[in-house]
A and B are shown apart, each in its own frame.
Chain A
Amino acid sequence: MSDRAKVLALHGGLLVLLFALQFVLPAYHHGNLARIMVLASFAVGYNVMFGYAGLLSLGHALFFAAGMYGMGLAVQHGGAAPVPGLLAGIAAALAVSLAVGLLALRTAGVGFMIVTLMFAQAGYLTILYFGTYTRGDEGLVLQQAQRVLWGIDLTQPGTRYFAALLLFAVCVLATLAMVRAPFGKVLIAIRENEERARMLGYDVFRYKLAAVVISGVISGLAGAVYGLLFGYVGATFASVQYSIFPLLWVLLGGAGTVLGPFVGTLFMFYLIDLSSAVTSAYMLVAGVALVLLTLFAPQGLVGEIRDRIWRWLP
């Protein structure tokens, strides 16, 4: 089998597996997996910027929240249906990521981390400041009637799972296409050696800006879908914690791999969930697990697999 066929088989296989799982999983894990697929889409968005373009952002909660609030405010106050709501979320994430990209890309390295962090902090405070519309930290609850898409009730477990899978599939296939396209190759070239890419005549700034916007829009879409599927839009999702999470998930799964974000999200979710069943000090277990993982799987889970077994993994 050629590498290309293997890649298609593996990723297609995962999506088919996820599709099939919904028929066999017990209710609890069925719900978890739907949630994980949406959060993994957020991580996929993060990975575009961090894993491929080498831009470490500490402010991705801003994009997730932009999508979530763009959707939530349109639905709650504008009376929008889910589809226009999602479009509003995408538009908000697009505008915010374009603005952040234009400003933050003037910096590099740690400066970029700090600027994105501070923009996200300003975004979080802005949500609180406009509490009249956003209900601040408490957030907005979307009623079941507001979450019916073309007559399909998104509050039903089956449709929710399917919607989450659809989102995840689109995000994975889009990144897969991106990595294989010349655009993705240029991003990786920039990550590896920015000067050389510039010497070769690439407009590095435009490529990076495109990466920021693509990453921001995917993250925002994930945020909008999350709000719609789980009926809640809140400021917590804009806090620093939710900027650290996608970084953690991507690093755990393997930065710069297409499946890494999903594996990392899945791993972290069940690490917390299962260890909290054993002990109330589950954070201790999670902490030790993270330390051990960095010691023994430095490339992240999928990264290690690529290093050791399947060298063709994208």
Chain B
Amino acid sequence: MTKISTKQTGTTRRGALKTLAAGAAATSLPLWARYAQAQTSEPIRVGFQMHRTGIGAAYGRWYDRTTEAAARLINEAGGINGRPLEIVVEDDGTDPKRGAEVVEKFATQHNCDVGYGTLFSHVVAGSAPRAGELKLPYFVVSEGHHVASGALNRYTVQPGITDVKSQVQAMAPFVASNLGKKVTMIFPDYAFGHDHRDFFSAAIEAQGGEVVAKLAIPPTETSFTKYFPKIPRETEVIYHVMVGPAVLTFVKEMGEFFGPSRPEIFGFIDSLEAVDISSPGLEFLEGTYFWEGMPRYAQAEQSPYDKFYREHVGVDDKGASLSDAKDVSTYAHMFGCWETLFVIKAGMEAAGYQGPQDRPALIEAVEAMTEMPYSNEHPQGAKVFNGKTHQVFGPQYISKLEGGMLKVQHTTSIEDGYYPDEVDYTKMSF
């Protein structure tokens, strides 16, 4: 366990006044109240469930850096409700069993106020029941559909990143009208891959297109060429979303299979997060399209918010670490940590959060949120939060790889990703 404890350095006028006022109030209060006051200057503790080891480690280290940067900013601006923010990091090994144990550790040993930051959906699914039982607000940054599908509980929310159902659905109009209507999907034989399969099939049919073949690849696979002949000749677009260390082989072998005559290719950048696009073997991807949660390369019309966010996390214009150009970030996902941390701050301030007894109030405050404007706090884009389904919705980006750089071609609207509610968590008891 490590702690990032950036001390409160609030020297703003407001912060100074607050401190003065608190000091004055404290001296004039009876002893028991002074004790309570002393207690509330304790830091707000956010338990960060980090994939430091295991298959999610490449994501984990960037989730960590983003979290650290956002926490530093929050503390510099005076913390939360006048209290400093402390991030308590525990490694879950990207394992659902350890994930649940870590959640217990946050709630019962570290006395954390909330749990936060989980990416891999099996870890979320394994940990969420424990968070619910321990009544620990659990802010996941997973893009899984598990929250909005209603499978989890009142204490689990995803306010910082759009879920896969919404992302996939928003892609269909662009794919159908620009790339082609006959789609072959290649995805891992995981729940995550199945979500892509089901949601995209439905969405492309609504656009008058069809999925002509669905190739679910077992996750233990390391060679792929033998599956490519299953791609029908009539295919106009290949839709790929692969994860894990074998994705480079996948892309390379796809290039070798098609040679000079390839169909249009549309992929989810998940396949290449933390991977340098200019790696040998990836030349084949030139001219293909990608979903990006947030554009990895700084665009010509970069927003001031993206610039601000990039600077503070320490990422250059190509999406790599400022200190090591070979250390490529997971730019399309990690903004979720940044935004979630600011949602926690906003929620705690709205709820007047003092301590664990206010956890239900915090959840209610987050549920009451709706619009989140495009800002330094939400640099990926404006968002709309659905309090009933505990899920946020934001814009999505479609980029084309041109000259070794991902250029945004289309930005979907938030509404493109809407779908009917599948659950109303606000009706569940605390």
- Would you call B333 an interface residue if the criterion is a C-beta within 8 Å of the partner chain's C-beta atoms? no
Interface residues of A in 117-149 (CB under 8 A from B): 125, 128-129, 131-132, 135-144
Quote the shortest CB–CB distance from A240 to chain B (angstroms). Answer: 10
Q: What is the CA–CA distance of A283 and B125 in the complex, to the nearest angstrom?
A: 24
Query: What 1/0 flags go to B181-224 for Cβ under 8 Å of A?
Result: 00000000111111000000000000000000000001110000
B129 touches A230 (CB 8 A): yes
- Would you call A193 an interface residue if the criterion is a C-beta within 8 Å of the partner chain's C-beta atoms? no
Q: What is the CA–CA distance of A54 and B96 in the complex, to the nearest angstrom?
A: 31
- Identify A276's interface contact among B91, B104, B152, CB under 8 A: B91
| B101 / chain A contacts, CB cutoff of 8 Å | 32, 35, 273
| B95 / chain A contacts, CB cutoff of 8 Å | 236
Given A128-B189, A137-B191, A139-B122, A277 and B1 contact (CB-CB distance below 8 Å): yes
A137 touches B190 (CB 8 A): yes
Query: What 1/0 flags go to A67-86 for Cβ under 8 Å of B?
Result: 00000000000000000000
A28 touches B189 (CB 8 A): no
Given A128-B190, A131-B191, A136-B191, A141 and B122 contact (CB-CB distance below 8 Å): no
Q: What is the CA–CA distance of A283 and B109 in the complex, to the nearest angstrom?
A: 21
A128 touches B219 (CB 8 A): yes
| B2 / chain A contacts, CB cutoff of 8 Å | 280
- Identify A137's interface contact among B53, B105, B122, B132, CB under 8 A: B122
| B146 / chain A contacts, CB cutoff of 8 Å | 138, 141
Q: Specify which of B97, B121, B153 lies most central, judged by the most chain A CB atoms within 10 Å of its CB.
A: B97
Q: Specify which of B108, B121, B144 lies most central, judged by the most chain A CB atoms within 10 Å of its CB.
A: B108
Q: Specify which of B100, B126, B194, B218 lies most central, judged by the most chain A CB atoms within 10 Å of its CB.
A: B126
Given A32-B104, A232-B96, A142 and B191 contact (CB-CB distance below 8 Å): no
- Identify A136's interface contact among B107, B126, B189, CB under 8 A: B189
Query: What 1/0 flags go to B88-129 for Cβ under 8 Å of A?
Result: 011100011100110011011100000000000110011011
Q: Main SS of the interface on chain A?
A: helix
Quote the shortest CB–CB distance from B158 to chain A (angstroms). Answer: 14
- Name B130's closest neighbour in chain A (CB-CB): A230
Q: What is the CA–CA distance of A135 and B194 in the complex, to the nearest angstrom?
A: 8
Number of interface residues of B (CB under 8 A): 40
Interface residues of A in 189-239 (CB under 8 A from B): 230-232, 234-237
Number of interface residues of A (CB under 8 A): 35
- Would you call A27 an interface residue if the criterion is a C-beta within 8 Å of the partner chain's C-beta atoms? yes
Interface residues of A in 91-106 (CB under 8 A from B): none
A232 touches B125 (CB 8 A): yes
Q: What is the CA–CA distance of A236 and B152 in the complex, to the nearest angstrom?
A: 19
Q: What is the CA–CA distance of A143 and B192 in the complex, to the nearest angstrom?
A: 21
| A143 / chain B contacts, CB cutoff of 8 Å | 153
A282 touches B108 (CB 8 A): no
| A234 / chain B contacts, CB cutoff of 8 Å | 96, 122, 125-126
Interface residues of A in 253-312 (CB under 8 A from B): 273, 276-277, 280, 282-283
- Identify A230's interface contact among B89, B100, B121, B192, CB under 8 A: B100
Q: What is the CA–CA distance of A132 and B193 in the complex, to the nearest angstrom?
A: 12
- Name A269's closest neighbour in chain B (CB-CB): B101
| A230 / chain B contacts, CB cutoff of 8 Å | 100, 126, 129-130
A141 touches B151 (CB 8 A): yes
Other 11 A-B pairs with CB < 8 A, given A35-B101, A125-B220, A138-B144: A128-B218, A131-B190, A136-B191, A137-B121, A137-B191, A138-B122, A139-B122, A141-B146, A230-B100, A232-B96, A236-B96
User: Which residues in A have some Cβ–Cβ distance to B below 8 Å?
Assistant: 26-28, 31-32, 35, 125, 128-129, 131-132, 135-144, 155, 230-232, 234-237, 273, 276-277, 280, 282-283
